[in-house]
Amino acid sequence: MNLFSKAAVIGAAMLVALPAASMAGTATGNIQVTANVTSNCTLQVNPLAFGAYDPLTTNATTDLTGTTNIGVTCTMGASPQLSVAAANGNTATGGIGTPVNAAQASSMALVGGTAASLKLGYTFALSSNTNANAGGISQPFSFPLNGVIAHAQDVANGSYADQLVATVSF
């Protein structure tokens, strides 16, 4: 090894050793880490589709029923209250562990075509959450929404529609 190589090796060793020699002690400090999970819920709504209504035969003596579920996913610890409101202002409500009775059924009308006078009456009722273990993202709440079109309504043929609004409070 020549003199230049020996000097380079000794110099490199001194550079590596210097920082270690200059650190004479240590100090520690605590860093506080925080987060705030806000209460929040989302809705998953599905249509309440009755299908075909025939007041002359099939529905002459039998009501036409329809059912759908409204899914509510909330952050853990939330206790959602769900309401479904109709255009006429009638509202059905349901909550966690709150039974919904028949008195909360709301009457409304499906409107046919462009003539507001063509109406097909129906009622709807919201039931309590059906998922006893609900809460958090992996366990959404489920609220059944049931509808009934009464039998033997004297209505014109055609398509009828209405809109309900689901609202969750938490």
Mean pLDDT of the chain: 75
Measured CA to CA, the distance from residue 105 to residue 65 in angstroms comes to 14
Answer yes or no: are the C-beta atoms of 170 and 79 closer than 8 Å.
yes
Q: Is residue 133 part of a domain?
A: yes
Domain that holds residue 86: 41-169
In this predicted structure, the answer to whether residue 3 has a pLDDT above a threshold of 70 is no
Across 103-107, 122-126, 128-132, least confident range: 103-107
Exposure string of 115-135, with b = 16+ CB inside 10 Å and e = fewer, is eeebbbebbbbbbbbeeeebb
Residue 21 placed within a domain: no
| pLDDT at res. 127 | 76
DSSP string of 86-109?
Answer: ETTS-EEEEETTB---GGG-EEEE
Torsion of CA 34, 168, 42, 131, to 10 degrees: 100
Tokens 């919904």: give the residue.
100
Domain-located, residue 150: yes
Judge whether residue 24 has pLDDT over 70.
yes
- pLDDT band at 159; cut points 50, 70, 90: confident
The answer to whether residue 161 sits within a structural domain is: yes
Percent pLDDT > 90 in the chain is: 20
Assign residue 45 the CATH number of its domain: 2.60.40
Dmax over CA atoms of the chain, in Å, equals 113
Q: Tally the domains of the chain.
A: 1
- Give residue 119's pLDDT: 67
pLDDT recorded at residue 102: 35
Residue 65: strand, helix, or coil:
strand
pLDDT band at 97 (very low <50, low <70, confident <90, very high): very low
Report the distance separating Cα 141 and Cα 151, nearest Å: 32
Q: What is the pLDDT of residues 57-84, one digit of tens each?
A: 999 999 998 888 888 898 888 878 888 8
